[in-house]
Amino acid sequence: MKAAIVQQAGQSPVYGEFEAPVPAAGEHRIAVIASAISQVAKSRASGTHYSASGQFPFVVGIDGVGRRDDDARVYFALPRAPFGSMAELTVVPAAQCVPLPDDLDDVTAAAIANPGLSSWAALTERAKLRAGETVLINGATGIAGRLAVQIARYLGARKVIAAGRNAEALGTLGADVAIALVADDTALERSFKMQFAEGVDVVLDYLWGASAERLLIAAAKAGPDAVPIRFVQIGSVSGSDITLPSAVLRSSAIELMGSGIGSIPLDRLIKATSDLLQATIPGGFKIAVNPVPLNEIEQAWASDDSSRRSVMTM
């Protein structure tokens, strides 16, 4: 079968022939229709993601849309290694396949599942967002952050604060407050502190690094009367480590937690993805997509950017 194959760690996938999978007991064979290039897929391909199998060669891709042997159209996640989602066929445990709404098209479903799940799961499973609360999204101008603004609103947030590095894009997100992540630490901390003083219930952090440091310090400095904050760490685009003064946690009611593979049971992640996909049309969730044929995987892999999601089509 045709597939996007990584031969060894550090190499980009190439288009070629790969052994067709045979489903084992409890698995579905999926004829793949569409699969998106995500940061998780890229990290697993490079061998740097904590969930990478370390098995080479393998087919890239962690999820997608396709049809089972009975022709049912499904979203699927985490195929059995070494079979990934960017191939004509793959095999997936039955529990990791969910039916799709009839009015949700294949490319949109494949594009939105992974980045949309990052905020949907963080808000519903980790932060336990309650209607009427305020959500601050750090890293709101990337693909996942843009969806997070929409999803937070849909799930009942009264106020959404968007912080991001793309100052021009901030004004297009539909957030109530926009904060540009400027280089001046003092000015940035002041902007954050003003919002925390008014009350922020949940922070979704896609960046980590310096802006997360400023966020946490500003939250602690907002004072003892500030609302307790559930800080959910999702991504590390700006760096994998921060320096956090211990007094920040001692002097505040900040709850630090993460959201991702490992912090939420897999069955709950699959259920959350199903809920997200069912809500996509009613919620009017929008994502910019770039459909690309599978045989152009090498160019698409190198040129994928943060403004739109490239989706490989079979």
Contacts of residue 304, defined as CB under 8 A and 6 or more positions apart, other chains included, come to: 37, 42, 310
SS3 18: coil
Tens digit of pLDDT for each residue in 250-288? 888 899 999 988 899 999 999 999 999 999 999 999 999
Contacts of residue 112, defined as CB under 8 A and 6 or more positions apart, other chains included, come to: 147, 276, 277, 280, 285, 287, 309
CA angle, 196 then 197 then 202, to 5°: 30
Give the pLDDT of residue 302. Answer: 87
The two tokens of residue 123 are 């808000």
Give the CATH superfamily of 114-258.
NAD(P)-binding Rossmann-like Domain (3.40.50.720)
Provide φ and ψ at 273, rounded to 5°: -65, -40
Q: How many CA atoms lie within 13 A of 60 on its CB side?
A: 33
Q: Is the pTM of this model over 0.95?
A: no
Strand partners for 76: 64, 97
Tens digit of pLDDT for each residue in 96-149? 999 999 999 999 999 999 999 999 999 999 999 999 999 999 999 999 999 999
Of 314, 53, 24, which is closest to residue 62 (Cα–Cα)?
Answer: 53
SS3 157: coil
Tens digit of pLDDT for each residue in 285-306? 999 999 999 999 999 998 866 6
Angstrom CA distances, 143 to 45, 58, 164, 209, 238, stand at: 20, 26, 12, 19, 15
Give the pLDDT of residue 158. Answer: 98
Provide φ and ψ at 109, rounded to 5°: -60, -45
CA angle, 164 then 246 then 232, to 5°: 40
Domain 2-99+287-313 maps to which CATH number in 3.40.1390.10, 3.90.180.10, 3.40.50.12280, 3.40.190.10?
Answer: 3.90.180.10
SS3 134: strand
Domain range summary for the chain, segments of one domain joined by +: 2-99+287-313, 114-258
The answer on pLDDT for 169 being more than 60 is: yes
Topology match between the domains 2-99+287-313 and 114-258 = no
The answer on pLDDT for 49 being more than 60 is: no
How many of the other CB atoms lie within 10 Å of CB of 299? 11
Of 173, 241, 233, which is closest to residue 203 (Cα–Cα)?
Answer: 233
Complete DSSP assignment for 175-240: -SEEEE--S-HHHHHHHHHHHHHH---EEEES--HHHHHHHHHHHHHT-TTSPPEEEEE---TT-S
The two tokens of residue 210 are 């310096």
